[in-house]
Amino acid sequence: MANGRVAAVSLPADRPVAHGFLSRALLWARANLFSSWLNSVLTLVLAYFLAKGLISFVSWAFIDAIWSLPTQDTRPCRDARAESACWALIGERNRFILFGTYPFEEQWRAALAVGVFLALYGLSTVRAFWNFRLVVIWTVGLAAIGVLMWGGVFGLAYVEQEKWGGLPLTLILATFGIAFAFPLSILVALGRRSAMPAVRMICVTYVELIRGVPLISVLFMASVMFPLFLPEGITIDKLLRAQVAIILFAAAYLAEVVRGGLQAIPKGQYEAADALGLGYWRKTGLIILPQALRICIPPLVNTFIGLFKDTSLVTIIGLYDLLGAAKASIVEPRWVGFGVEAYMFISLIYFIFCFAMSKYSQGLEVEFSRHTKR
C-alpha cells in the first residue's frame, strides 16, 4: 500500500495542466495536503495511520472474517478472536436482535410491522400526500401495526407487550416519540410567547424542569416512581410509561428549537396577518409556523435524530429495544464476548435510519429555500 502513497507524491510537479479529474485531484492535493514540508509530513503520517487502520479493519471485518460455523461450537471464532470478526453470531442471532423475545414462529408479523413503518416513512416524503391523506395513511398504518404486533384478532395469536422487542420496539418508541413530541413542542413554544402570564409560566417551568435532568432519570422515574403514585390495582405498562417519558423529554428540547424559529419571524408578518383579520390560530397555522418550522429544519432533524438514538436508553429499565436485544443476544455462554459484532450490526441499522433522516432533511431544506429567499 505504501506504493500508492509514494506514487502520488512523486509525480512530476510541472506536468501540463490537464482538465481531467485526476489532474484536478492532484492540483487539489498539492495545494491542500503538500503545501509545505511540515504539511507534507503531517499528511504522510496521517495517511500512514489511516491506511493501516483501514487495512486492519477491512481484513478483520471482511477478508479474515468468519461468516458461518460448521457446528454449534464457537471455538473457531474464539481462537481467531484478535484477527477475525465473527459474523456467524449475526447469522445465528439476527432474528433475536431484530425482534427480541417476540415468539419465533410469529416473527414474520414483527417483520411486517417494520415493513409498514418503512412504507409509512416513505409515503410521508411524497408531497402529494401532504394533506388529510397523510392522516388517513398513518391512521391505517398504525392500526395495522397494532394488529400485527398484538394479534388476538383475524386468527393471529395474542402476543403480550412484554414480549415485544428489537427493531419494531425501537421504531415504535421513536415514531410515537416524534409524532407526539413535535406537536406538543409547538404548543409549548407558542405558550412561551403567549400574552397570558400563567400559560407562559407553565411552559417555561416545564421546559426548564425537563432540560435540567438526564433522560435516564426521567425514564427511571417513569418506570419506578410513577407506579408508586398510582392507586392500588391500576397499572400502566412499562412500554407506555417509557413512551410518555420519551415524549415529554423530547418535547422540551424541540420546544426550544421551535421557539428559535418563531423568534426569527419578523414582526411585520404578524402585523400583516392581523391586518387581514386572520385571527390568532389562522395567523399561527398559516403564516407564522410554516415559516418558522422551515427555518429550523436543521436543528429539528438534529433533535429527531437524537431522539431516535435516545430510545436505546430504555434498555436501562428492562425493555428489549434494538440495543437491549443486541445486549441480550450475547448473554448466552457460547456467545459471551462477541459484543463488538452485535453492536456493529445494530450501529449499522441505527446509522441507516439516522442517515436517511439527515439526507431527507437536506433535500427538504433545498426545496424550501428555492423560492423563498428574502
Partner 1 sequence: MPASLAPAHNTGNPIAVEMRGLNKWYGEFHVLRDINLTVRKGERLVICGPSGSGKSTMIRCINRLEEHQTGTLMVDGIELTNDVRNIDAIRREVGMVFQQFNLFPHLTVLENLTLAPIWVRKVPKKEAEEAAMYYLERVKIPEQAAKYPGQLSGGQQQRVAIARSLCMKPKIMLFDEPTSALDPEMIKEVLDVMVELAREGMTMLCVTHEMGFAREVADAIIFMDRGEIVESAPPSTFFANPRTDRLKLFLSQILRGH
* One residue of 196, 275, 331, 348 binding partner 1 per CB under 8 A: 275
Regarding 374 and contact with partner 1 (CB under 8 A), the answer is yes
> Which of 276, 318, 336, 355 contacts partner 1 by CB under 8 A?
276
Q: How far is Cα 203 from Cα 255, in angstroms, rounded to an integer?
A: 9
Q: Dihedral angle at the C-alpha atoms of 108, 109, 114, 117, nearest 10 degrees? A: 150
- How many degrees, rounded to 5, is the angle at CA 170 between CA 164 and CA 173? 95
Q: Report if residue 290 touches partner 1, rule: CB under 8 A.
A: yes
| CA–CA distance, 79 with 77 (Å, rounded to integer) | 5
DSSP assignment of 183-210 equals: HHHHHHHHHHT-S-HHHHHHHHHHHHHH
373 near partner 1, rule: CB under 8 A: yes
Q: By CB under 8 A, what part of segment 242-271 binds partner 1?
A: 266, 268-269, 271
Pick the closer one to partner 1 by CB: 67 or 280. 280
State which residue, 172 or 273, has the beta carbon closest to partner 1. 273
Give the separation between CA 134 and CA 132, rounded to whole angstroms. Answer: 5
39 part of the interface to partner 1, by CB under 8 A? no
The SS3 assignment for 86 reads: strand
CA gap 67, 336 in Å, rounded: 17
| Distance of closest approach, residue 282 Cβ to partner 1, in angstroms | 5
Site string for partner 1, 150-169 (x = CB under 8 A): --------------------
x-marked contacts with partner 1 along 204-243 as a string, rule CB under 8 A: ----------------------------------------
Q: Select 23 or 291, whichever has its Cβ closest to partner 1.
A: 291
Name which of 251, 254, 245 is nearest 313 in CA terms. Answer: 245
Q: Which residues bind partner 1 (CB under 8 A)?
A: 266, 268-269, 271-279, 282, 286-287, 290-291, 294, 368, 371-374
